[in-house]
Amino acid sequence: MQVTEGVLVPGEQVPVTVRVDRWRVGLPPDAWPDSLPSTGVIWRRDVFAVAEAYRAGSASARQLLAAVLAWAYGPIGYGPWRAARSLAADPQGSRLAYAIEGVSGPAPDDDALGRAYRRFRDPDQARLPWLGPGLFTKVLYFVGYRRGVGGVQPLILDRVVASRLPAEAGVGRPNGWSAEEWLAYLRWAAEQAHRRGVEADAVEMALRRGAEAGVEGVEVGDEPDVPGLVRLVHQGP
């Protein structure tokens, strides 16, 4: 995947802002990726760039995790503290690298995606403290998403997204989702994306924007930035 500097990921409307000074102080010196904007204004494209560097061998697994967590936590004050605990439990980044090895290739399939998810949940394989499904699916998204390929793609599944998914997406409301639930959601999102001619992560972003606006449901719509993007509309409780 290539994300050109200055080009936003379609469907993304606002960046995340972090206190870079706090993150640099709070994390081990080897973990912070210098390629992230020094302003602390982080777009998805910036995290994708770190993921690309990881796949190319020029960024470490720990730098990848730090980039994802900085974007995920944003301005939340305890973000650096929790991220430091996750990193401390994997000082060489070997557990993380093991978890994502199957999704770092050209086109991870359902088996590879499910295996990576299960590894992240297994304390004997790759589970890390403070890194539940709502966060490690963000890692899987950034390292495994292949733009322009279509089909099933790794997507973020957190409480915000789960709260807006329809029953047919196959995901329960708690946050301890199984690999099977995640894969069901990925297949549902792939179908929605195919029907509407958009990227799969545009579906996730539309769900997230709908949650922020306090609405539910999905229908086809047009938005100025991405024609044909799925947008969320109110359909009652």
**pTM score, whole prediction:** 0.88
> What's the pLDDT band for 104 if we cut at 50, 70, 90?
very high
Model pLDDT, residue 211: 57
Alpha-carbon span 133 to 116, nearest angstrom? 11
User: Higher-confidence residue: 62 or 8?
Assistant: 62
The average pLDDT across 96-123 equals 95
Closest CA to 152 of 107, 116, 195: 107
Which residues lie below 8 Å from residue 6, measured CB to CB, with a gap of 6+?
Answer: none
Q: Considering only the C-alpha atoms of the chain, give the largest distance between any 2 of them, rounded to a whole number of Å.
A: 49
pLDDT tens per residue across span 188-212 = 999 999 999 999 999 999 999 985 5
Residue 237 pLDDT grade (very low, low, confident, very high; cuts 50, 70, 90): very low
Residues 143, 116, 87, 145, Cα dihedral to 10°: 10
Joined together, the tokens standing for residue 66 give 């730090």
What's the pLDDT score for residue 156? 98
Q: Which helix (H) or strand (E) holds 65?
A: helix 61-73
For residue 3, pLDDT beyond 60: no
What are the structural domain ranges in the chain?
16-149
3 state DSSP class of 142? helix
The string of pLDDT tens digits covering residues 19-51 is 999 999 999 999 999 999 999 999 999 999 999
**Once rounded to an integer, what is the mean pLDDT over residues 147-173?**
94
